[in-house]
Amino acid sequence: MVPTTSYLALSGVLFALGMVGVLTRRTAIMVFLSVELMLNAANLALVAFARSWGDPTGQTAVFIVMTLAAAEVAIGLAIIVAIFRKRETTNVDDLAALKG
Amino acid sequence: MDSLPLYLLPLLPLLGFAVLMTLPRLLPGKTGGWLATGLVGAAFALAVLRYLNQGAPAHEVLWTWLPNMALNANLSVGFWLDQLSALMALIITGVGFLIHLYSISYMGHDPKFTRFFAFLNFFVAMMLILVLADSYPLMFVGWEGVGMASYLLIGFWFSGRGSGSSDAQERAASDAEAVSNSNAARKAFIMNRVGDLGFMLGMFLLFKLYGTLSIPELAERVEGAQVAQAGIELACLFLLVGAVGKSGQLPLTTWLPDAMAGPTPVSALIHAATMVTAGVYLVARSHFLYDLAPNASTWVAWVGGLTALYGALSALNQSDIKKILAYSTVSQLGYMFMAVGLHAYSAGVFHLLTHAFFKALLFLAAGAVIHALHDEQDVRRMGGLHQFMPFTHLVSVAGVLAIAGIPVWSGFFSKDAILAAAYEQNLALYLIGLGVALLTAFYMGRWYFLVWRGAYRGHGQPHEADTLTKIPLGILAALATLAGFLNIPTFLGGGHAFDTYLGRAVPLHAHEIAASTEWRLTVLAVLAGVLGLGWAFLAHRRNALASGPLGELSRNSLYLDALYDGVVGHPSRAVAGGLDTLDRATDDALSAVGRNASAPGGLFTLWQSGFVRAYAVSMLLGTAGIIGYWALKTIGSGT
């Protein structure tokens, strides 16, 4: 059986990858993708802990996170498409209308 | 045929309203008008069928609001057809049908033709709900609905009739008309709110006293209920306030003459024949309460008597062809209130019926005149019209004779019944009623002579009304002439047929005066009518009619409007002005605070770099900080 620590390590790597992606990528789509990666890293950690403790609560939480993520993707992509139609760019550095 | 359910009656015109409002494009030209007229005609046919197959009162419940609730309000939504509501339904759909027919011609050139018929249909539907309702709350729904229809139709020309004109002067006149039309509509709505508050308080009190608002249930419960007398009196007074608002009685009367800003068919249907009689209907419908409340009933009678006098005095020196009729309506409604206040419900409702015919007739005739003279409404610029419009002249004569109470026209019978009831119970009210009969005959004579007789004082060539206009006029003239025979009193050899019919729904108070006294009363009443007309004729011969008696006092309707403006309007405007100043000062002060606060606020805006990734980093650092703190703390406490 794969030890829980391995799962957690993979989860940590995925989370770090996602984090780097959010911080370095400029295209909104890629930022969005990286956020999803981080989300799924957290999911993995949750499932791993659930298996380790023999408690289904963690798995239930993952199901809820997945359905929520599906809805969130739909809205997020719609927002990006709308932004692109209006601004003709998805470069997050150019989207600085709220700059103080 | 009595399987035809009652709800179809209001449903048909309501459907017409829905179709005309949502799909006006499907109904080009005058088809919308014909559709609306047909639906009201169908409702009339239905009302006739239900009338003919009438047995015991029919109670058809559709559903119940809030069933099985702790409140047990038992608010059924249902319709109640007895002799009184059947009669009202006949008047509404019958007169309504004729006026719809008339409007097809009258509103023929209006750009909002279909919209007009949608509103008219809405009105008929709501009025039918009002009279057929089996409970006060449902009646209130109709009550508000007709108020809404009245508002929409008074302000029908809310943007004026010449706003698209190329002539600047015409446009300015149209704008002024627009403002006055909108104000008239708002005035009607606001003054009715006062009355509606009374109606609502009355309902609350009745529910508190008897635990139900269903009219048939209430009629049973009041009999043996142990309720404080003051409670019943107060409830009846509250209902009276509602009735006063809707029927334009004193002191809430001033909206009704202004309501003439609406198109003439609206004045005929809503502000003469049907809606404004809702107050009379309310009192007659609640007869079981008013029978137990002698003081409140006396109030009703006195409100009616004083309003009758007020309306008649105000009508003496008006110069607008419709305003004369409007004040006359106020006055005639006063007669009806007087009758129902004296518990002579049948006499009051009978006058309601005859008045619906002759006043609708007079308004429609006035509309034909206004059309013939291209929107001229000033009687001083009319005259001699009988040569140009012989048919309309003829029907107007019938209307004038009916309202003046000349035998055998209908007004003679109905007014006589009211005066007899007044003589029996209250001599002061009788004398007022008799005096008003004289004044009525005079101002209607003045109306007649100024419009139809003498030399023509206007410009342009008047033309006779078209056929579509003549049909309703002819039918209404026949009804105004003949409807009186429905209720021939005993001393004239009749059988009180109308009283007998209505007596199954409302209590009749047997006449106890001798036939010889009744004869004398009748002669006096007819004498008053003849004298009034003769007075008008003499003044006409002396060419002294243009300015009627009482001068400015009557022209300004006894300064009631000015009084209200001084007592309510002026202080309100002063308070509003003061509050406005205060508001602006507060606003300025707050704006100043805001402006000064934005300077230090500017420092913090530097934080907002506008770079999403910078935000992400700060979020990351923040989260890491929180988790790190929490982790360290856990470790610390664990060891």
Q: Are residues B444 and B403 in contact, defined by beta-carbon separation less than 8 angstroms?
A: yes
Does B613 contact chain A (CB < 8 Å)?
A: yes
Substitution target from B604, B608, B611, B613 for chain A, most A beta carbons within 10 A? B613
Which residue type does B313 have?
A: L
C-beta atoms of B611 and A31 within 8 A: no
Residue B586, min C-alpha distance to chain A (Å): 29
Q: Model confidence at A100, in pLDDT bands (50, 70, 90)?
A: low
Does B455 contact chain A (CB < 8 Å)?
A: no
Residue A80, min C-alpha distance to chain B (Å): 14
C-beta atoms of A22 and B616 within 8 A: yes
Does A70 contact chain B (CB < 8 Å)?
A: no
Does B604 contact chain A (CB < 8 Å)?
A: yes
Does A30 contact chain B (CB < 8 Å)?
A: no
C-beta atoms of A98 and B608 within 8 A: yes
Q: What percent of chain A has pLDDT over 90?
A: 58
C-beta atoms of A92 and B612 within 8 A: yes
Q: How many residues does chain A have?
A: 100
Residue B243, min C-alpha distance to chain A (Å): 57
Does A92 contact chain B (CB < 8 Å)?
A: yes
C-beta atoms of A100 and B607 within 8 A: yes
Contacts across the A-B interface (CB distance below 8 Å): 35
Substitution target from A26, A90, A92, A94 for chain B, most B beta carbons within 10 A? A92
Q: Are residues B349 and B84 in contact, defined by beta-carbon separation less than 8 angstroms?
A: yes
pLDDT at B1: 44
**pTM score, whole prediction:** 0.78
C-beta atoms of A99 and B608 within 8 A: yes
C-beta atoms of A92 and B620 within 8 A: no
B611 contacts in chain A (CB < 8 Å):
92-93, 96
Instruction: Decide: residue B574, CB within 10 A, 0-12 exposed, 13-18 middle, 19+ buried.
Output: exposed
pLDDT at B151: 93
pLDDT at B37: 93
Substitution target from A20, A24, A87, A93 for chain B, most B beta carbons within 10 A? A93
Question: Residue B423's closest CA among B489, B339, B345?
Answer: B339
3-state SS class at B64: strand
C-beta atoms of B608 and A95 within 8 A: no
Does A96 contact chain B (CB < 8 Å)?
A: yes
Ordered structural domains, chain A, with CATH: 4-87 (1.10.287.3510)
The separation between CA B528 and the C-alpha centre of its own chain, rounded to angstroms, equals 29
- Cα torsion B257, B259, B261, B263: sign: negative
Residue of A nearest to B618 (CA): A23
Which residue type does B247 have?
A: S
- Cα torsion A78, A82, A83, A84: sign: positive
In angstroms, the CA B351 to CA B181 distance is 30
C-beta atoms of A23 and B613 within 8 A: yes
In angstroms, the CA B494 to CA B496 distance is 6
Query: What one-character-per-residue DSSP string does chain A give?
Result: ---HHHHHHHHHHHHHHHHHHHHH--BHHHHHHHHHHHHHHHHHHHHHHHHHHT-THHHHHHHHHHHHHHHHHHHHHHHHHHHHHHHS--BTTT--TT--
C-beta atoms of A23 and B610 within 8 A: no
Does B610 contact chain A (CB < 8 Å)?
A: yes
A19 contacts in chain B (CB < 8 Å):
620
In angstroms, the CA B388 to CA B406 distance is 26
Mean pLDDT, range A70-96, rounded to an integer: 88
- Average pLDDT per block of 10 residues along chain B, 639 residues long: 78 93 85 92 92 83 70 77 91 94 90 91 95 92 93 89 77 86 91 92 91 86 82 93 92 90 91 91 92 92 94 90 92 94 91 94 93 86 86 93 90 90 90 93 92 84 86 93 85 78 80 79 91 90 78 83 88 95 94 83 75 83 93 82
C-beta atoms of B610 and A31 within 8 A: no
A98 contacts in chain B (CB < 8 Å):
608, 610
Torsion of CA B129, B133, B135, B139, to 10 degrees: 30
In angstroms, the CA B262 to CA B185 distance is 8
In angstroms, the CA A29 to CA B611 distance is 16
Query: What one-character-per-residue DSSP string does B513-524 give?
Result: S-HHHHHHHHHH
A31 contacts in chain B (CB < 8 Å):
612
Q: Render pLDDT for A33-67 as a digit per residue (tens, 0 to 9).
A: 999 999 999 999 999 998 888 888 888 899 899 99
Does A19 contact chain B (CB < 8 Å)?
A: yes
Q: Are residues B157 and B228 in contact, defined by beta-carbon separation less than 8 angstroms?
A: no
Substitution target from A15, A23, A26, A83 for chain B, most B beta carbons within 10 A? A23
C-beta atoms of B612 and A99 within 8 A: no
User: Which pairs count as long-range contacts for A19-27, CB under 8 Å and 24+ apart, including other chains?
Assistant: A19/B620, A22/B613, A22/B616, A23/B613, A23/B616, A23/B617, A23/B620, A24/B613, A26/A91, A26/A92, A26/A93, A26/B613, A27/A90, A27/A91, A27/A92
Residue of A nearest to B614 (CA): A23
| Tokens representing residue A61 in the block | 């939480």
